[in-house]
């Protein structure tokens, strides 16, 4: 059955960052056979009624047809936009209820994480999986990065939790074509190009080779969740070692050191590492849920000093201050508007040219805003929230952190065949132990 949406809006143009993410989706799909998807998993302390959830999703999706939209190009001005359907096809299976989970919570989470490797069909942009359990139940939302970023996905779940029959469609934010101020956007492009070339210098960054196969390649995961006490200690370590409100550089510095040791063990002998770091551009919690309200900074670390933890923290903090000063993430977002003229599959291949086909050594993100600020979902208490993203390809390896309430979580995401699973587990375990101790000399 197709339900008619009551929501109509002017053309919903894609931003430059949206177009970069669509290009990355094309590149990832070409290499792995699966698009640039991500997933959020809610660990719930109780039973969630699947029938009530289906009713809630039905009404929410009808009123927010952006979740069944698709990309088109306006051939009058050549700007890409997201076409919102007049009718929403509710024959799509939005919720899959699985048998009750057995084994430990870690086993259940690991099994559920593989759901992100299942493709979304047709014009479906989100899909849910519910797994009841003895101690915890799990609700996973798989989503397409073309319409949601990680923080936006958390806010979408919060909106579903509080959705009522009289609720209005979620606002789409600033979706103008932005076909203006061309010279300023061109200068932003020059700024970004110079920054990327400086990252490379004489040779590309050190990175693990991508798998040769181009069939369905899964992302695999290694998890660590930190308790309230451990998270507090990590925050105190960051303030003592790097500075006040410097959690991200602290995490990044420890990650680079651990990754460097894995590279040496694997025989990768490069001169430097480049790490694209996701930046949330939302200024407050009232900004739009949909599309990509983010940008990127790029960090460079010399391999010669990558065993010196204090030096890595200093480099990370210095580059954070510098990129904030020169507004690297802003210029990247502005330059993206110019790149919308390029077809997304072409742009996906062009994006790697400044770094010789590589987009970095690994990708990194910290989702630590107020995306999901509530303590329950549809009146069921939440134990924790995890992110399990398919890793963009390249680089094919990503280390991501998220924070829910007073707990920090870490996930290593990597393409099957890029790392030995034992090496991946060792990397995650070493990184987690160093974060818990905050000790420069832990080995």
> Could you read off the pLDDT of 182-194 as tens digits, one per residue?
999 999 999 998 8
Residue 4 has pLDDT above 70, yes or no: no
The gap between the terminal CA atoms of the chain, to the nearest Å, is 59
> Could you read off the pLDDT of 92-114 as tens digits, one per residue?
789 999 887 676 677 778 888 89
For residue 438, the model assigns a pLDDT of 82
Question: What architecture (CATH level 2) is domain 2-161?
Answer: 2-Layer Sandwich (3.30)
Residues 6+ away with beta carbon under 8 Å from 213:
417
Domain regions of the chain by residue span? 2-161, 199-368+391-437
> Could you read off the pLDDT of 295-343 as tens digits, one per residue?
999 999 999 999 999 999 999 999 999 999 999 999 999 999 999 999 9
Q: In what order do the strands lie in the sheet with 219-225?
A: 219-225, 407-415, 397-404, 363-367, 272-280, 294-302
Which residue has tokens 């915890």? 136
For residue 443, the model assigns a pLDDT of 43
H helix intervals, 274-420: 309-326, 328-339, 344-350
In CATH terms, 199-368+391-437 corresponds, of 3.30.465.10, 1.10.472.10, 3.30.559.30, 3.30.450.20, to 3.30.559.30
> Could you read off the pLDDT of 19-50 as tens digits, one per residue?
999 999 999 998 899 999 999 999 999 999 99
Residues 6+ away with beta carbon under 8 Å from 260:
273, 301, 303, 306, 307
> Could you read off the pLDDT of 349-396 as tens digits, one per residue?
888 777 676 789 999 999 987 789 899 999 999 999 999 999 998 999
Grade residue 441 by pLDDT with cuts at 50, 70 and 90. low
Q: How far apart are CA 423 and CA 81, in angstroms?
A: 42
């Amino acid at each position: 059955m197709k339900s008619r949406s009551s929501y109509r809006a002017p053309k919903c143009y894609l931003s430059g960052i949206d177009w970069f993410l669509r290009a990355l989706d094309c590149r990832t799909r070409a290499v792995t056979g699966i698009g640039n998807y991500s997933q959020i998993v809610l660990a719930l302390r109780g039973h969630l009624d699947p029938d009530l959830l289906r009713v809630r999703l039905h009404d929410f999706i009808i009123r927010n047809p952006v979740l069944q939209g698709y990309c088109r190009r306006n051939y009058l001005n050549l700007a890409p936009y997201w076409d919102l359907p007049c009718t929403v096809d509710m024959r799509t299976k939005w919720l899959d209820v699985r048998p009750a989970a057995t084994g430990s919570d870690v086993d259940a989470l690991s099994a559920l994480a593989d759901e992100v490797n299942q493709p979304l069909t047709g014009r479906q942009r989100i899909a849910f999986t519910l797994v009841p359990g003895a101690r915890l139940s799990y609700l996973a939302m798989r989503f397409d990065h073309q319409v949601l970023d990680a923080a936006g996905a958390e806010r979408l779940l919060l909106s579903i939790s509080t959705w009522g029959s009289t609720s209005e469609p979620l606002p789409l934010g600033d979706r103008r074509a932005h076909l203006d101020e061309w010279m300023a956007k061109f200068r932003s492009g020059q700024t970004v190009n110079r920054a990327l070339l400086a990252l490379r210098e004489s040779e590309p960054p050190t990175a693990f080779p991508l798998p040769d196969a181009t069939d369905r390649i899964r992302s695999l995961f290694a998890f660590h969740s930190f308790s309230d006490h451990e998270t507090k200690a990590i925050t105190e370590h960051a303030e003592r070692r790097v500075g006040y409100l410097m959690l991200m550089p602290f995490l990044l510095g420890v990650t680079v050191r651990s990754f460097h040791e894995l590279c040496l063990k694997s025989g990768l002998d490069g001169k430097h590492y480049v790490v694209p770091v996701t930046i949330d551009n939302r200024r407050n919690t009232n900004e739009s849920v949909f599309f990509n309200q983010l940008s990127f900074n790029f960090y460079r670390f010399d391999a010669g000093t990558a065993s010196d933890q204090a030096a890595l923290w200093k480099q990370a903090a210095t580059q954070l201050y510098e990129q904030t000063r020169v507004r690297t993430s802003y210029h990247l977002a502005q330059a993206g508007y110019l790149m919308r003229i390029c077809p997304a599959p072409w742009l996906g291949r062009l994006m790697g040219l400044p770094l010789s086909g590589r987009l970095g050594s690994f990708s990194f993100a910290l989702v630590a805003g107020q995306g999901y600020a509530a303590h329950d979902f549809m009146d069921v208490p939440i134990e924790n929230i995890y992110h399990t993203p398919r890793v963009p390809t390249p680089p094919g390896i990503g280390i991501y952190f998220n924070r829910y309430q007073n707990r920090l979580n870490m996930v290593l995401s990597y393409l099957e065949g890029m790392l030995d699973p034992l090496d991946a587990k060792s990397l995650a375990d070493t990184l987690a132990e160093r974060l818990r101790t905050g000790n420069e000399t832990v080995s």
